[in-house]
Chain A
Amino acid sequence: MAQCKLTPHEYIQNAFAPQVAILCSEDADNLCLKNNLRFVELIQPFCRLNNEVRIADPSGNTVPVRSLRVVFEDMNRRPPQPTLGKKLLSEVVSTTPWDRPITRTVGASGTREALDLELQPTTPWFEAWRDTFLHVQYPSDHEFTKHYIACIVVVASTSENPMDQLNRLSQYQHQQLHQTPARFPKWFSPNILKFYLLIHDVTAGDLTKSEQVFEQMTSMYGSSNCHMLQINSRHIGQTDVHLPDPWSQFLIQRASCDPGGSSSEASSGTGTPREDVSGLPSRVTEGDTTDCCESIHPLSPTVPPVDEKNGTFDIMPGVEISADVPVMVNRPSLPAGTVQHHGGCLTSSDVDRIRIFVHEFCVRSLIPHVERQIRYLNEVVTNRSRSKSLLSATRRWLVGNKSPGSATNSVIYSPEATELQTRRLADLCFMFGLYELAYSFYHTAKNDFKSDQAWLYFAGAQEMAALAAFMQNSSDYPKRYLENSLQTYLNVCKVYNFAIRSTLLSSEVLKHCGEYGEAAMMFIKLTSEESDLLSALMLEQAAHCFINSQRPLPRKYAFHMTLAGHRFSKAGQRSHSLRAYKQSFQVYASRGWVLAEDHIHFTLGKQAHHLKQLTEGLEAYTHLVDQRLKKNASSQQSLSQQTAYVREFINTFHQYIQQEWDSSTSLPCLPLPLIDSQSTSVLLGAPQDPPTSSEWTCASYVSLDSDMTNNERWYSLERNLVETSHGSSLVFRPNLQLLNCDTPNTQSPIVPVNEPVLVEILMKNPLAVSLMISDVRLVFSFEPAKHVEANDAPVKDFLYSGFNLPAGAEEKVRLELHPQCTGKLLIKGVIYKLCLTPDITSGHPPGSTSSPVIIEGQQLIEVKGPRLNNTSAEKCSVIYACDKRLEITVVPPMSRINVTFHDIPQILSCGELCSIDVLITNIGPAPVSKLLLAVSDPNHVYLDIEETLLPAKPICVLSDLETADSKIANWTTTVALPNGVLNSGDVIQPKLWLHAPMTPGAFDVELLFYYETLNSPGRSQYRLVRHYSSIYVERSLSFQVSSTISQNLQESLGDQQENKRICSYTSNLIVEAQNNSEIDSTCSTYTVIGLSGNSEKWAVVPHSRLQGLQLKSGESCHLCVKCIQHLNTQKHGLIISQLHFGSCQVPLNSWWRFSLRERINLQDLVADPSPPNPSSEHIPPPPTPTQQDANHIIDANSLDMVVSILWKGERGGREIWGQHSIYLKNLGDGVSIPSSPLCQAGEEEKPPIRIIPETSLQPLQSPLPQASKLKHLVKISAQFPKCLEHDFISNSRLCSLEYELCLHNCSSCQLTTFLNLCPEGFSGSNGGVSNHVYSPQASTQLLYVGGTVRKVSLLPWGCSTVPVRVLITSPGTYSLGVFYLTALRNTAVEVKSDQPIPQACQLHTAVTVRQVPKGNHLSHST
């Protein structure tokens, strides 16, 4: 517990100080009243003797008595009535000031961490309370310490006849002393000390007269019993402020002692006890867990016990004083309050005289008197006890040893009974410090009382015996005596006042011995339902005991402080309640006991509010509603509780604003609703103009609703634009329009003057109570740039009118600012009005007009960047990057582009082509100098101002300029501006071309316009306009295109002037088209109207005339066209060939550009640019001949053609056009689009994911392509007559046919071919064996003559003629072409590693030989 000012010894000594009655005449009191003091009060500060006095015990030994204190009381004073006493006690507690708490560290122990607690070092209110408590006690008959031991009669020398007065007063006193039945005041014994005092007023009285009176007094009453006191040496007017005022501390109780005084109600802090709302128990029992504590019966410190038989308090006399007695009964009421100065007429010598008087009284009269009394009583007791001991022993033997509690107490002693005399003697000894003697007498008395079963007497004696033993030797004392007596007081006698006194005393003793736990238990035992103040004080003391014990128990301390605070609040002691709750909260703070915390905060808030400590109250309520501070758990309170909290908070806040808030400072912060600072977004230069007509839609720009997930793509596009515009040397940092927690915000964002800044703030309601928020504004500061004159309102701000935030909801609040001049704009927070949403259902009755209280406050927004984790310092500590999204730089005006689109389609079919009109307007004040566009999908999207027509030839060779589309390597294009500048207000109107992708689904069109302001000051700043639209693409047609190599040779197409004609093989393109559109598609019928191809050396030509084919849903058709090689003189030019089925012409003239764009092959947009290859610097080794050959062979096999199939359809009465483009790389490839639709439909089983990649051992591959690709290196053609006649009969039996075989090299390799004209194993080459009976095929019974096996060398693309001769024996039709041709590359010949590869070169030829009719004989052969 808090330390007391007094040691336990001093306290006990004070509690049992000898009492001296003062009987004062009216005149004497009047003299003293010049000093604003009555006589009793006048001497009160000096009632303790500073020096040591000696007192003799009965055996004559003198014992020193240190600092003897004598209590002077007005003889007519009565202890106050119970209600008044209660009020007095309450008053004392509430008015006693207390010290500031000091911080103490309670060390860690057990599972507990060390705590720093602010503890109350002293509890002066408790000390004042217990002093007052003792003071207001009625004296009891079973003890004599409260009985007057002496009486001082005081008269003034100024009165008419002091001697007469003295006489009358002493007679009155005598009458009081001997009245029967005994009434108040109680006297120690019939033989008390009487002392006579004459007061002489130095200024008003005549000293000689006074001295005469005094002489009379001494002669009458004896010189040792008389004293003359001179006071008032100073006139009333003279005031000496230097004198200290020793009286004031004794006078606190005076005002409230006055029964009529109304001052108590006015004093702050004392209100009427309140009803119990908090739900903490009033009754507290605890202790060792085994015994079930009995609940304590009603008790109250000032209610006299009901037990009349005790004879203790049965006499409650009204004060009956006859009118002639010159005693002031109804004194003139002294002015309440202690503002006046006391002792104004007293000089320091007067004070000394008073001191001398007290000392004289004690030393010269009181102590000798006490010594006499002790001797006398000692004699009485010893004499009587001898005669009585036998009797009592007999009785004890007869009755047996009974324990208290078993019998009711009905013993009444006569005042002169021996037992009481013993007790009297013991009390006297105790009061004057003869503790050893006192103990023995108490002990005797105790035993006597016990044998008489006078339990109250017994308990009193036992208690005093223990105390006497303690005073004598503080370490060794009978502890059980105290416990027993307390038990007896409580349970047997039910005298709670004595129980309380006993507790107060014994707890001091226990604490002195260090038994704090016991002391705490003792205090707790006294708590009860009835007396809140007492319980509060006791609980508080118990709490202090817990924290001060050897092993501090801070959690117990906190709990009991809470209970004490609760009881204080019930007792109306608001400030104490507040203090107790505050101190207990330190232990609970931020541990997560939310319900307990809420209770504490709510009480704190209420108490502080009542005490008008609005700041503290507000703080407590803020804790209640502020969910940010709830460390571990959110509010667990019910809705009604939360509503109450919020309502109280709002009311308190409202009052705080009205009363205490200094309006010059900014508004205080509100804890509600939660504002998530990190999710604050800032949008710069938001679009403000809606499109003029409904057909035109604005670009989507960047808005607060923009999807941030695609930012990487936009940044990537932007980087491309910047690199296109400035070269890639710049360190790229995206130009942010929308800043939020995900964007890199290390640079202060920039906004031109007069363009809006939109701030979006996320407000969250964490409670179950809905809130109304209105008039939201931004808090900002603006610092104009140097040499810029700021006008009155440099920034226009707009009010957000308000909304209702339901329980648990989130709301995005968008606030706008318009900076009007250049400078720095710093957004600090948000200011708004808050109130509870008026409840319509259970609201006020319709008549009442009470509107909810609205409070206005602000919240600051603080943003921080992402946590850094680069350097070791950053890794070891928590460092966040700076975030400047709320520090906006306002720059001079810039150009500004507005982009609108005319009618962007919502839906497209796969492969559909469409064009959209675009309007690009410069709406800013400055001209645009450069306009660039980046599209994320250049294969399918481009923007052009004019259309490029294609020559209407079936095959045309495109120029480099025209083929630029196919060579696009990045995402950006430059939009040409007229004269290079787009002035303010100017418009350009390009077209946006879209080609829907071949796969159904979403088609994301992402456009990023980039522009620069002409002559922009400072660093070159560009601005951006984003457009994003997603178009739904539905299924239309699917195509399968495959190419096959034909055996036929055909001359290449090409420039006619070229002499060198190359024959090459052809290829067939087989196209299968299927309409797989869905039934509910907007367009379900398609017509294939054309086909085109672009390739470096191939062109498509029709086999025959083709018609447009209409396909309904589910239908399919096949087409076959021929591809022939076209010699292309230009190195990289493209040949575009087109076939139109029927007369249909595509009105969209730019379709071919998309088929060229199909060749664009870009990296993934967000992929990292590939790191520079370290080996790219060194020149690759020259290709080996084999590699060269391989390349040649691959070349020969490559088709490299984009086949576009054009179609038309109809949607909503409008014709639509589209194309599907398929890229075929090699001859013989087949591609279908959409690629493998079957796989997409079903769940395909995925291969297992390998964490460790499989390393398959691949054999070292020959660079040559596989053998199947090598079969078409050489083709054969022959020139021979289809038909010839020969006269087998007449001319010769053999018909000889000579013709030439042409071997064509269809590759760029040098080849050696081996031609075998009569290959073995070929059926029918040498005499048909099998085809005799029936042969539908041409006969092969012919015979090559001459060299049948030839070796022919072929140059690249070369042609070699081999003359051959064949003999035919009979007429018929013969097939010539059964050759076996193998080819070997020359390089391979040298190495001799490879076998010659047989070539697929069947020559489908037929020669018909006829017999010449007779008479018409002609011979063709020789």
Chain B
Amino acid sequence: MAVAGNYYFAIVGHHDNPVFEMEFTPANKEPKKEDHRHLNQFIAHAALDLVDESMWTTSNMYLRLVDKFNEWYVSAFVTAGRIRLICLHDVKNDDGIKSFFMEMYETYIKHSMNPFYTPNSPIKSAAFEKKAHFYGRKYLTG
């Protein structure tokens, strides 16, 4: 079900700060050039404006496509606590991204219940990364 493509996933905190970032590339493709990593951040950050707009139009947490820039589509998910999950992708994969978001939402909630984690601070947890990696492989890059 998953379609091979490039993905960039970010969790954005309340101050528009990235809490977690990860890139997913298909296993058979070589990863993108390093020089363009900052572009992902630019696009994801710019899409926040449109997330804010489309947030009010639906009662769902999953907002589907909110923005598009060149070859990148931007899908978003806003949690009940207004944490934004942003995903950049260059292929359409609505179901996969939705499942991915749901899983990551749950993982994030579990992580945020850790009393040693300060909300809105960057997540530096190997377990969290492992989970993200696993779900990315499961739902995104396949």
Q: Which single member of B17, B33, B35, B70 contacts A591 (CB below 8 Å)?
A: B17
- B61 in the interface, Cβ–Cβ < 8 Å? no
A598 to B35, CA, bound (A): 11
Report how far A584 CA is from B14 CA in the complex, Å: 20
Whether A555 contacts B46 by the Cβ 8 Å rule is yes
A562 to B43, CA, bound (A): 11
In Å, the complex CA distance between A111 and B83 comes to: 9
Partner of B43, one of A110, A111, A559: A559
Nearest Cβ on chain B to A546's Cβ, whole angstroms = 8
User: B78's closest neighbor in chain A, by CB?
Assistant: A111
Contacts of B67 in A (CB 8 A): 286, 289
Shortest C-beta distance, B9 to chain A (Å), equals 14
A588: chain B residues at CB < 8 Å are 45
- Contact between chains at A551 and B70 (CB < 8 Å): no
The number of residue pairs between A and B whose CB atoms lie closer than 8 Å in the complex comes to 106
| Cross-chain contact B35 with A279 (CB below 8 angstroms) | yes
A880 contacts the other chain (CB 8 A): no
Question: Which residues of the partner chain A approach B70 to less than 8 Å between Cβ atoms?
Answer: 281, 283-286
> Which chain A residues lie closer than 8 Å to B69 at the CB level?
284-286
Contact pick for B17, options A284, A558, A592, CB 8 Å:
A592
Tell me the complex Cα distance, A281–B56, Å.
31
Q: How far is the CA of A285 from the CA of B69 in the complex (A)?
A: 6
B34 within 8 Å of A by Cβ? yes
Q: Indicate whether A647 reaches chain B with its CB closer than 8 angstroms.
A: no
Q: Which of A285, A555, A587, A632 contacts B121 (CB 8 A)?
A: A632
Q: How far is the CA of A52 from the CA of B96 in the complex (A)?
A: 67
| Interface assignment of B41: CB less than 8 Å from any CB of chain A | yes
CA distance A113 to B16 in the complex (A): 9
Residues of B within 8 A of A285 (CB): 68-70
Residues of B50-96 whose CB lies within 8 A of A: 50-53, 55-56, 65-70, 73-74, 78, 82, 84
**A139 interfacial by beta-carbon distance below 8 Å:** no
How many Å from the CB of A1192 to the closest CB on chain B? 62
CB-based contact B46/A111 at 8 Å:
no
Given contacts A286-B67, A551-B53, contact A559 B122 (CB under 8 A): no
Cβ of A595 under 8 Å from chain B: yes
Decide if B45 touches A558 in the complex (CB within 8 Å): yes
Q: Within the assembled complex, what's the spacing in Å between the Cα atoms of A290 and B67?
A: 9
Which chain A residues in 515-555 approach chain B with CB under 8 Å? 546, 551, 553-555
Whether A798 is near chain B, meaning CB under 8 Å from some CB there, is no
B70 to chain A, nearest CB (A): 6
| A223–B65 CA distance with the chains assembled, in angstroms | 71
Q: Which B residues are in CB contact (< 8 Å) with A872?
A: none
Chain B residues positioned under 8 Å from A641 (CB to CB): 34
Cα A109 to Cα B48 in complex, Å, equals 11
Q: Indicate whether B116 reaches chain A with its CB closer than 8 angstroms.
A: no
Chain A positions 260 through 295: 1 when the CB is less than 8 Å from some CB of chain B, otherwise 0:
000000000000000000011101111111100000
Bound-complex Cα distance A112 to B17 (A): 11
The answer for the CA separation of A595 and B36 in the assembled complex, in Å, is 9
* Docked complex Cα distance between A279 and B51 (Å): 25
Which A residues lie within 8 Å of B17 (CB)?
Answer: 591-593, 632
Question: Which residues of the partner chain A approach B15 to less than 8 Å between Cβ atoms?
Answer: 113, 591
Chain A residues within an 8 Å CB radius of B18 = 591-593, 632-633
Known: A280-B39, A598-B38, A599-B38. A632 touches B46 (CB 8 A): no
Q: Which residues of chain B are near A280, meaning CB under 8 Å?
A: 39, 42
Q: Please, which residues of chain A bring their CB within 8 A of the CB of B73?
A: 289
Given contacts A109-B52, A285-B70, contact A562 B42 (CB under 8 A): yes
Closest-by-CB residue of B relative to A595 is: B38
Given A279-B35, A283-B70: A556 and B46 interface contact (C-beta under 8 Å): yes
Q: Which residues of A contact B74 (CB under 8 A)?
A: 289
A596 interface residue per 8 A CB criterion: yes
* A284, B68: Cα distance in complex, Å: 10
Q: Tell me if A638 is interfacial: C-beta within 8 Å of chain B.
A: yes
Mask, B14-40, CB within 8 Å of A = 1, is 111110000000000000011111111
Query: How many Å from the CB of B91 to the closest CB on chain A?
Result: 12
A570-602 interface code vs B (CB 8 A; 1 in, 0 out): 000000000000000001100111011011000
Q: When the two chains form their complex, are residues B66 and A289 in contact, meaning their CB atoms are under 8 A apart? A: yes
Chain A residues with CB below 8 A from B49, complex form: 112, 546, 553-556
Residue of A nearest to B55 (CB): A110
In the complex, what's the smallest C-beta–C-beta distance from A594 to chain B, in angstroms? 8
Give the docked Cα–Cα distance between A111 and B85 (Å): 13
The chain A residue sitting closest to B66, CB to CB, is A289
Chain A residues within an 8 Å CB radius of B84: 111
A641 to B43, CA, bound (A): 21
Partner of A558, one of B14, B46, B50, B78: B46
Smallest Cβ distance from B1 to chain A, in angstroms?
22
CA distance A587 to B67 in the complex (A): 19
Q: Is the CB of B16 within 8 A of A591?
A: yes
- Which of A113, A553, A560: most chain B CB closer than 10 A? A553
Contact of B45 with A111 in the complex, beta carbons under 8 Å: no
Return chain A residues, CB-CB under 8 Å to B122: 592, 632-633
Give chain A residues whose Cβ lies under 8 Å from the Cβ of B66.
Answer: 289
User: Across the interface, do A111 and B42 meet the contact criterion of CB distance under 8 Å?
Assistant: no
- A residues near B45, Cβ cutoff 8 Å: 555, 558-559, 587-588, 591, 593, 596
- Min Cβ gap B88→A in Å is 13
Report the Cα distance A558→B84, complex, angstroms: 19
| Cα A1133 to Cα B33 with chains together (Å) | 90
User: Which residues of the other chain, B, contact A555 by a CB distance below 8 angstroms?
Assistant: 16, 45-49
Q: In the complex the two chains form, is B82's CB within 8 Å of A111's CB?
A: yes
Q: How far is the CA of A649 from the CA of B55 in the complex (A)?
A: 43
Nearest-neighbor residue (CB-CB) of A295 within chain B: B70
Identify which of residues 636-661 in chain A touch chain B, using a CB-to-CB cut-off of 8 Å. 636, 638, 641
In the bound complex, CA of A622 to CA of B14 (Å): 28
Per the bound structure, the CA–CA distance linking A287 and B73 in Å amounts to 11
CA distance in complex: A836, B73 (Å): 41
Complex CA distance for A725 and B68, rounded to whole angstroms:
81
Provide the A596-626 mask, 1 if CB < 8 A to any CB of B, else 0: 1011000000000000000000000000000
Contact B52 A279 (CB under 8 A): no
Name the B residues within 8 Å of A284 (CB-CB).
69-70
Whole-angstrom CA separation of A279 from B36 in the bound complex:
6
Q: Which chain A residues border B51 with CB–CB below 8 Å?
A: 110-111
Report the nearest A residue to B69, measured CB to CB. Answer: A286
Q: Determine the residue in chain B with the shortest Cβ distance to A641.
A: B34
Closest B residue to A280 by beta carbon equals B39
A119 to chain B, nearest CB (A): 16
Q: Are B68 and A286 in contact (CB under 8 A)?
A: yes
Question: In the bound complex, what is the Cα–Cα distance between A632 and B17 (angstroms)?
Answer: 9
**Closest beta carbon of chain A to B50's beta carbon, Å:** 8
- Contacts known (A555-B49, A595-B38); A289 close to B68, Cβ less than 8 A: yes
- Cα distance A290–B34 when bound, in Å? 29
For A554, list chain B residues within 8 Å (CB): 49
Q: How far is the CA of A778 from the CA of B39 in the complex (A)?
A: 43
Give which listed residue, B36, B68, B78, B121, contacts A287 with CB less than 8 A: B68
Cβ of B68 to closest chain A Cβ, rounded Å: 5
Chain A residues lying within 8 Å of B38, measured Cβ to Cβ, are: 279, 595-596, 598-599
CB of A281 within 8 A of CB of B39, answer yes
List 15 other contacts, CB 8 Å, given A111-B48, A593-B18.
A110-B56, A111-B52, A279-B35, A286-B70, A289-B65, A289-B67, A558-B46, A559-B43, A559-B46, A591-B16, A592-B17, A593-B17, A593-B45, A598-B38, A633-B18
Question: CB within 8 Å of A: which residues of B?
Answer: 14-18, 33-43, 45-53, 55-56, 65-70, 73-74, 78, 82, 84, 121-122
27 contacts between A and B (CB under 8 A): A110-B53, A111-B14, A279-B39, A280-B39, A283-B70, A284-B70, A285-B69, A287-B68, A289-B67, A290-B65, A551-B53, A553-B50, A555-B49, A559-B43, A559-B46, A591-B15, A591-B18, A591-B45, A595-B37, A595-B40, A595-B41, A596-B41, A596-B45, A598-B38, A632-B121, A636-B37, A638-B34
A residues neighboring B (CB under 8 Å)? 109-113, 279-281, 283-290, 546, 551, 553-556, 558-560, 562, 587-588, 591-593, 595-596, 598-599, 632-633, 636, 638, 641
